[in-house]
Amino acid sequence: MTEGSTRTVQCAVLKREAPGLVRPVYPGELGVRIWREVSQEGWQRWVAHQTMLINEYRLVPIEPKARQFLEAEMQKFLFGEGASRPEGYVPPS
């Protein structure tokens, strides 16, 4: 890759090729998988979804149970069948 070129990935979220993340955004093996298989846009979609989950469920991300829940939801959103929205959630207009 030349300086200034953008790395592309086959994004698991968008289901198409797109600019990849500049650096790993999550620790461990899962972070490596995200870096290899999720685009910048796909990651931003997850961040927005995660913010909605934190707000709707009033999660405290430093609590272990909340972190486990968010990691499971992240894996579903990025690589699985997609994450669901909380029951009764109405997006802001």
pLDDT of residue 5: 63
DSSP state letter for 39:
B
- Is 48 in a helix, a strand, or coil? helix
Residue 93 lies in a domain: no
pLDDT in tens, 22-74: 999 999 999 999 999 999 999 999 999 999 999 999 999 999 999 999 999 99
Per the structure, the complete domain to which residue 26 belongs is given by: 8-79
Residue 47 lies in a domain: yes
pLDDT of residue 81: 78
Residue 23 lies in a domain: yes
Instruction: State which H helix or E strand residue 18 sits in.
Output: strand 16-19
Residue 91 lies in a domain: no
Q: Per the structure, how many domains does the chain have?
A: 1
Residue 61 lies in a domain: yes
Residue 93: pLDDT band (50, 70, 90) is confident
CATH number at residue 73: 1.10.3880.10
